[in-house]
Amino acid sequence: MGPTQDSLVQVQPLGGFDKPLTYRNNFRGTESIEPGSLVTIPLGKRKIPGIVWAFEQNIAKPKFKIHNILSVIQATPVLTSELMQLASWISRYYCCSMEACLEAMIPAPVREGMKSKSRRLLFLEKEKLAQMDISTRATSQKKIISFLEKQSQPVNLKLIQEKTSASSATINNLVKKGLIRETQERIERVAYEDDFLDSAESVDHRIELTDEQKVAVTEISTDLNKKAFHTRLLSGVTGSGKTEVYFEAMEFALAGGGGVLFLVPEVALAPQTVSRLRMRFGEEKVVVWHSHLSAGERVDAWRSLIQNESRIVVGARSAVFAPIPKLRLIIVDEEHETSYKQEDTPRYHARDVAVVRAKTTDALCLLGSATPSLETINNVQKGKYGISKLTQRVDNRELPLVHLVDMRREADKIKTLPILSQPLVEALRERCVNGEQSILFLNRRGFNTTMLCPDCGHVEGCKHCSIALTYHRTDGYLKCHLCGYRKPTPRRCSECNSFDLHKRGHGTQKIEDLVAELLPRRTIIRRIDADIMTKKNLFRETLSDFRKGKIDVLVGTQMIAKGLDFPKVTLVGVIDADLPLRMEDFRASERAFQMLVQVSGRSGRGNRAGEVFVQTYAPHSPSIQYARKADLEGFVDEELAMRKEFNYPPYRHLIRHLFRSRSEAKVEFYINKWTKLVNENNFEEITVKGPAPAPIEKMNGYYRYHLFYFTCSVRTALEKLGDIRKQFPLDPEVHDVLDVDAHQIS
Ligand code: ADP
Ligand code: ZN
Ligand code: ZN
């Protein structure tokens, strides 16, 4: 259905205006535009790009002057209609501008109209040449002609210039005269193919599925056969072979003519998955959506999808927007991972967006994890999502034996706070003697410090909220980051009266040094943390060396807990299991549980049984006890009961409202004023908590305060708040932003 000439169209500007504007489409080019086309429009005095959003049907005679679209950058839509719907949903639900959504969804070089790269290939029209007298021609032309005469294939322009030192003007001249003809060849820029090759030894044969895997595959293919939207959780213990189930599901969807999206928390951490995928679906082109793709690579990946050349994408968060044709299946691996939540605008959660996207395309969304998020479990319990379970590791391998090391007793032994306990050090030594591998795991978040009593393990908590208080160095107070409650830092433990209160923190570097001192000299120790992640090659090399057995002990932060499969690891040490528990976040126990089960899952994946040592000051805390037994159900029951009692997520949505300003007085004044206004309105649908200073009170010179809204309906809450926000006279030096379904509260 093409538009008629001179019709009116709505165009969403890319560059400073937040809703579609009306333009006249009198563009009489060869290409006709459609929704999703990229065009240039006038906006004020500027000319900016915009996306054709819709054709206006019954238009009354406009009262204002309507401008023309200036030019068509690209008629082929940069957004499919399905993705345009998704953009509208994201901008509404996450309360962000359409422009911010489009920026996240469409790779910058595509938005800017960057074309695929092609090269000019030239060849000689030999028949034409025979009719001409070449002797009269200039020397440089002769040179080109005699060079081309010797070639059997068309030749790249660059090469001709190199060999004949002819200028492009000379060559173009010959082209004009018809003596030389040219063709274009598209060059594909594929990102680091070799990245995934060295882990390719893993699996190259078909495996016989276990009974549980077979059941799961049947359930999933039944879903897919219905060709209707559905979401299913694949809840499978670590090492139960979830990836194999994903692959079977993919094969089924592809065989039915559908496209597949495979989301992983971080592509760099999934080299094995990618290489297994490439091997399994070798005849298909698998697009890998890296976070560090170059502009050209991104355009080509994008184009190969738009042009139906590939229909499988594997990638992290932003790949949820990949324009996959006929999308039938979306897999979200490790769906509980926080890296799926984007922490700046648009603050979307890729798992939730995946579900919404599946809905718009009648696809199946398959969420997989050994430690599913409570949000997802709640949706299963409500009957919104289906569930398939894998309760056994493949080959009936045992889950590793988990030892809890009570650090309170370790502290007694040496009269100071130990970092590495005796039992863990002994276990490490034993692995070195036997030539087995170990991972030491430290969960460190730089900024937060809580008050921990080394004698009884008590952590100072807020009396209004079920979270720990945070020590603020600036004024020596303990503060609650949820409700704003504060009290002076106590000198004695309020539980056991001990004077020995400590504020704690130590880094991976220190652990690495300590281990080096304690273990035999020939032991090879490497560290993986945020610093190393920035050096891409170093990170890949380290992982690959570890896989090959060239490293004995790997020390790292939570990033090494994500889905890695190293068969030779028989020992995992968790240095500080309580850290996530002490965070000022009601999701702390959930994080602690997930983290412990996931790291433990890295041990004993090969033929030898695995062991895990968990150092803790709170050995009796529920998350640690349940994690020790890998008891997901037990943990979920207890934690959900607590969430229910406080009416926290997943029973209500949490929206965080952050205010920031260079002036502390202003930010405090305005957030108080705003809170008062919200409270006066007494919205039935919204429970307000706060305001309080944010955990990071000052960031980049900005003072930060926040308040929280708990609500059953994000849409209603945003409408009500939006209405009064429009009238609220906020100082231009104070900025505010909403984070819907907030995760990281920093
Ligand atoms: P998960 O993601 O559930 O932790 P993986 O999918 O990584 O587990 O599988 C763990 C290991 O088990 C992998 O090396 C995989 O190749 C292997 N595996 C999976 N399914 C089977 C099976 N049916 N028989 C034998 N090995 C299997
Ligand atoms: Zn509180
Ligand atoms: Zn105490």
Q: What is the pLDDT of residue 194?
A: 46
Residue to mutate (ligand 1; options 201, 206, 214, 244; most atoms within 8 A of CB): 244
Pocket residues: Cβ below 6 A from ligand 1: 203, 207-210, 213, 236, 238-244, 394-395, 565
Q: Does domain 193-395 have CATH number 3.30.1330.10?
A: no
Confidence of residue 443 (pLDDT cuts 50, 70, 90): low
Q: 193-395 and 401-445+506-642: same fold? A: yes
Confidence of residue 535 (pLDDT cuts 50, 70, 90): low
Contact 328, 312 (CB under 8 A): no
Ligand 1 atom closest to the Cα of residue 238 is 4
Contact 224, 232 (CB under 8 A): no
Q: What is the pLDDT of residue 169?
A: 81
The pTM score is 0.81
Highest-confidence segment of 45-59, 133-147, 179-193:
45-59
Its sign, for the CA torsion 659, 661, 663, 664, is positive
Tell me which architecture the domain covering 7-111 has in CATH.
3-Layer(aba) Sandwich (3.40)
CA 576 to chain centre: 26
Confidence of residue 2 (pLDDT cuts 50, 70, 90): very low
Share of the chain above pLDDT 90, in %: 37
- CA proximity to 411, closest of 401, 403, 400, 421: 421
Alpha helices in 135-261 (DSSP H): 139-149, 157-164, 168-176, 211-225, 242-255
Q: What is the pLDDT of residue 448?
A: 46
Ligand 1 atom closest to the Cα of residue 243 is 6
Which residue is closest in CA terms to ligand 1's atom 19? 241
Pull the structure tokens for residue 407.
């650090």
| Spacing, Cα 456 to ligand 3 middle (Å) | 4
CA dihedral 618, 501, 506, 431 (to 10 degrees): -40
Which residue is closest in CA terms to ligand 1's atom 4? 239
Contact 492, 485 (CB under 8 A): no
Q: What is the pLDDT of residues 139-148, one digit of tens each?
A: 788 888 888 8
Share of the chain above pLDDT 70, in %: 85
The domain ranges of the chain are 7-111, 117-187, 193-395, 401-445+506-642, 448-505, 653-740
| Spacing, Cα 480 to ligand 2 middle (Å) | 5
Tell me which architecture the domain covering 401-445+506-642 has in CATH.
3-Layer(aba) Sandwich (3.40)
Average pLDDT over residues 590-598: 88
Which residue is closest in CA terms to ligand 1's atom 23? 209
Average pLDDT over residues 655-659: 96
Q: Which residues share a beta bridge with 709? A: 655, 688
CATH of domain 653-740: 3.30.70.600
Residues lining ion ligand 3 (Cβ < 5 A) are: 453, 455-456, 458, 493, 495-496, 498
Confidence of residue 196 (pLDDT cuts 50, 70, 90): very low
Contact 741, 649 (CB under 8 A): yes
**Quick one: which ligand is closest to 456's CA?**
3
